[in-house]
Structure 1
Amino acid sequence: MTTTSARPAPPFGRALCAMVTPFSADGALDLDGAQRLADHLVSRGCDGLVLSGTTGESPTTSDAEKAALVEAVREAVGGRASIVAGVGTFDTRHTVELALAAEKAGADGVLVVSPYYSRPPQDALEEHFRTVADASGLPVVLYDIPGRTGTRIEPGTMLRLAEHPRIVAVKDCSHDFLAAQKVLGQGELAYYAGCDEHNLALYAVGGAGYVSTVANVVPSQLRAVIDAFDAGDTAGAARLQQRATPLIESMMAAGLPGTVTGKALLNELGLPAGPVRPPLRPAGRAALDGLLAAYEDLTAA
């Protein structure tokens, strides 16, 4: 027995990677590296790639770099995977400009984070998302990550926004599993887990899949979790998720941003990544040794 028959097709696939943005040694955008990394991830099970999100260092890349990244990755993956471009800023007008540029560059959708720092109230937040959704023909993924933005997208706001024909999905980093289930039960938004520890749990209650930082380094292992669940092997899916937990913790909950830990591992594995841009700093040797140990434990299993 499988579990897929009652599950609607997700708009961007099930297994999405929040891809790092590769840089050269001098900190310049490495488009060749981005193409090679994108091809590597898609060939190992990623249905989609989210570019210029938190993991993609969007605060420290220029508008021109963001558009060039979409164009290069589109060329590399063609129609084999969806591309969702991060366009969210604290400025509605600038966010609209980035959404239009992403559409022109070949993105399939846009990821729009709550405006950070200014902390708009819910009615202003709702208007911001509607304005962006009205501006282009691309479907919109709402990005709820209050730990970074300072502002929740409240469940009621989510449900009202779901009425917009181009607001189709959520990347959920709220750490509020109850709220996520409430919205799932009342609306038609496709919910993607944005925290890797929730990948299976959210999928099991009707989520669309995940947008994963950890997938940069173990795309096949994370894809296997939801494949097992879809095949009806829920116990096997749980075991696979549990097996990935030490690496998830090492990369996402050990004091360093996922961008830093992801790039550290990719560099050690000989895959395109390069340095992080300031104010981020590279992982130290002790942190890297711990990451490698967790990676080796998972991939040797």
Structure 2
Amino acid sequence: MFHGSMVAIVTPFTPKGRVDEEKYRQLIEFQIENGTDVIVPCGTTGESATLDYKEHDRVIEICIEQVKGRVPVVAGTGSNSTAEAIELSQHAKEMGADGVLLVSPYYNKPSQEGLYLHYKAVAEAVALPQILYNVPGRTGMNMEAGTTIRLAEFKNIVAIKEASGNVTQASEIIAKAGDKIDVLSGDDFLTLPLMACGAKGIISVTANIMPADVKAMVVAVDEGRWDDARALHLKMLEIHSTMFIDSNPVPVKTALSLMGKIDAHVRLPLAPLSAANLAKLTAVMKGYGLI
């Protein structure tokens, strides 16, 4: 249902820390103009953890308003509280989102049965296509392939964003439940390997600054142009790595600032890039012709 090059879009802030609606709308247009298939607001890259409820809803609302149905909008509505995830997801549905992205409950460290029951509750409460999001580095625990395969039985659980870095785990999901649930890469540098195994695309950080290149690689895979896909994969490796020289989204927001698209402001407890990392990011971006 949700395939291709999908951007985990940043939430730009003004220097005073407020949501910058105008810059946000411009970023959305930049993505659509460069062929991005799905816009994903309020994910990790969108700093959802520091948006209050009103801001969270507004960021999703702006995205839906600006997109105007040209591409799907999949809203980040996950929480470490099942009741809160349901509430956020219902709000997204009411605003007109095409689907929701649900990060696994963080900090609580639920068992695999707890994870299953959490996602089951959301699926049963909200009649909207849902993408599970497994990111152990952020949540403190891994959702095992067996749990995802169980959840694939719910018709409105349509995909999983796999950011475990475990190609074997992702492959097991595809092998055993690929007819029921799509696997999406959650790591830019693993998009090509995972798509070679049957994944359907990427929810990307790098696409914030290089949307056309990320889209071109996904299209090359879909069209069976493996040499072209491999060349693009290798071309983007350095920029993928550079997007994680500090906690996401600090590097990518700084990169967008260097490109003149937004202010680099992030909310505490995130902090600006160090001078050394800023110099590294600047050099890499110059090498790519981005600045």
TM-score normalised to structure 1 length: 0.92
Measured in 2, the distance between the counterparts of 1:231 and 1:158 equals 28
Q: How many residues end up aligned between the 2 structures?
A: 288
Aligned-pair CA distance for 1:295 = 2.2
Query: Match for 1:37 among 24, 27, 37?
Result: 27
1:58 aligned partner: 48
2:288 counterpart SS class = helix
Partner of 1:239: 231
Residue 223 (1) aligns with residue 215 (2): yes
What SS does the aligned partner of 2:287 have? helix
Aligned residue number for residue 204 of structure 1: 196
1:159-218 C-alpha deviation (Å, 9 max, x unpaired):
110000111101111111101001101112111111111011111111010000111011
Q: Distance in 1 between matches of 2:53 and 2:94?
A: 13
| Structure 2 CA distance for aligned equivalents of residues 274 and 79 of structure 1 | 29
Report if the CA contact (8 A) 1:36-1:272 is conserved: no
- Unmatched 5+ residue regions in structure 2? none
Greater CA drift, 258-267 or 287-296:
287-296
Q: Relative to 1, partners in 2 of residues 1:259 and 1:102: Cα closer, same or farther, differing over 3 Å?
A: same
Asked if structure 2 preserves the Cα contact closer than 8 Å seen for 1:116 and 1:148, the reply is: yes
The yes-or-no answer on 1:257 pairing with 2:254 is no
What is the CA deviation profile of residues 89-129 of structure 1, one whole-angstrom value per residue up to 9, with x for unaligned ones?
A: 11111111100111112211111111111111111110100
Give the C-alpha shift of residue 273 in structure 1.
Answer: 4.6
1:120-131 correspondence runs (5 A): 120-131=110-121
1:181 match: 171
Moved more, 288-297 or 80-89: 288-297
**1:102 counterpart (92, 100, 104):** 92
Rounded to whole Å, the distance in 2 between the matches of 1:94 and 1:229 is 38
Q: Could you tell me how far 1:258 is from its partner in structure 2? A: 2.4
Q: CA RMSD in A?
A: 1.3
Which of 270, 279, 287 in structure 2 is aligned with 1:297? 287
TM-score calculated relative to the size of structure 2: 0.96
| Alignment-derived partner of residue 59 in structure 2 | 69
Shift in Å, 1:13 = 3.0
Following superposition, the deviation at residue 232 of structure 1 comes to 2.5
Q: Which whole-Å CA distance do the structure 2 matches of 1:199 and 1:295 have between them?
A: 21
> What secondary structure does 1:210 align onto?
strand
Whether contact under 8 Å (1:100, 1:136) holds in the other structure is yes
- 1:39-86 C-alpha deviation (Å, 9 max, x unpaired): 111111211111111111111001111111111111111111111111
Q: 1:139·1:167 contact (CA, 8 Å) conserved in 2?
A: yes
Instruction: Report the counterpart of residue 73 of structure 2 in structure 1.
Output: 83
Amino acid at match of 2:166: D
DSSP 3-state at the match of 2:10: coil
CA distance in 1, matches of 2:40, 2:22: 17
Q: Which residue of 2 aligns with 1:171?
A: 161
**Partner Cα distance (1:64, 1:107) in 2:** 16
CA deviation vs aligned residue, 1:231-275 (integer Å, no higher than 9, x gap): 3220121011101001111112x2x01200010010111113541
Residues in 2 aligned to 1:74 and 1:299: alpha-carbon distance in whole angstroms: 31
Gaps of 5+ in 1: 1-10
Contact 2:38 2:73 in 1 (8 A): yes
Tell me the alpha carbon deviations over residues 126-176 of structure 1, each in whole angstroms, 9 at most, x when there is no partner: 010011111112111100011111121111111110000111101111111
Alpha-carbon separation, structure 2, partners of 1:85 and 1:225: 24
Q: Residue 136 of structure 2: which of 117, 140, 146 is its match?
A: 146
Q: CA deviation at 1:36?
A: 1.0
Task: Determine the C-alpha separation between the residues in 2 that align with 1:174 and 1:273.
Answer: 30
Hey, what's the Cα distance between the residues in 1 that align with 2:264 and 2:24? 11
State the percentage of identical aligned residues.
36
1:288 matched residue in structure 2: 278
